[in-house]
Amino acid sequence: MPELPEVETTRRGLLPHVVGARIQHTLVRRFDLREEIPATFARQIQGGEITDITRRSKYLLMHISRHKKTPIVLLIHLGMSGSMRLEKPGFALKKHDHVVWELSSNQHMVFHDPRRFGVITLLSPLEITTHPLLAHLGPEPFSDGFNVAYLQRALARRTVAIKPTLMDAKIVVGVGNIYASESLFLSGIHPDTPACALTRKQLAALMNAVRTTLQAAIDSGGSTLRDYVQSSGNTGYFQHSFTVYDRASEPCVTCHTPIVHKVHAGRATYWCEICQPRHL
Active site residues: 2-3, 58, 267
| Nearer residue to Zn ion within complex by CB, 159 or 257 | 257
Q: For residues 126 and 255, which CB has a smaller minimum distance to Zn ion in the complex?
A: 255
252 lies in the binding site for Zn ion (CB under 5 A): yes
The DSSP letter of residue 22 is B
Compute how many residues bind Zn ion; rule: CB under 5 A: 7
Interface with Zn ion by CB under 5 A: which range of 67-75, 90-98, 173-181, 270-278?
270-278
Based on the shown chain and the rule CB under 5 A, indicate whether residue 274 belongs to the binding site for Zn ion.
yes
What residue number has its CB nearest to Zn ion? 252
DSSP 258: B
Q: Distance (Å, rounded) from C-alpha 99 to C-alpha 112?
A: 7
Least distance to Zn ion, CB of residue 106, Å: 53
Alpha helices in the chain (DSSP H): 4-18, 41-45, 148-155, 162-166, 177-186, 200-219
Distance between CA atoms of 177 and 164, rounded to whole angstroms?
Answer: 9
Q: Give Cβ neighbours of residue 203 (< 8 Å, ≥ 6 apart).
A: 148, 151, 152, 155
User: Which range in 14-22, 109-117, 234-242, 252-260 contacts Zn ion by CB under 5 A?
Assistant: 252-260
248 scored as a contact of Zn ion (CB under 5 A): no
Q: Which among 251, 204, 201, 202 has a CA at the least distance from the CA of 193?
A: 202
Report CA dihedral (34, 40, 46, 51) to the nearest 10 degrees. -50
* Residue 189 contacts Zn ion per CB under 5 A: no
225 binds Zn ion (CB under 5 A): no
Residue 208 CB, nearest distance to Zn ion (Å)?
A: 19
Asked if 272 touches Zn ion (CB under 5 A), the answer is: yes
Measured from the CB atom, the residue of 231 and 269 that comes closer to Zn ion is: 269
Contact 76, 11 (CB under 8 A): no
3-state secondary structure of 9: helix
Interface with Zn ion by CB under 5 A: which residues? 252, 254-255, 257, 272, 274-275
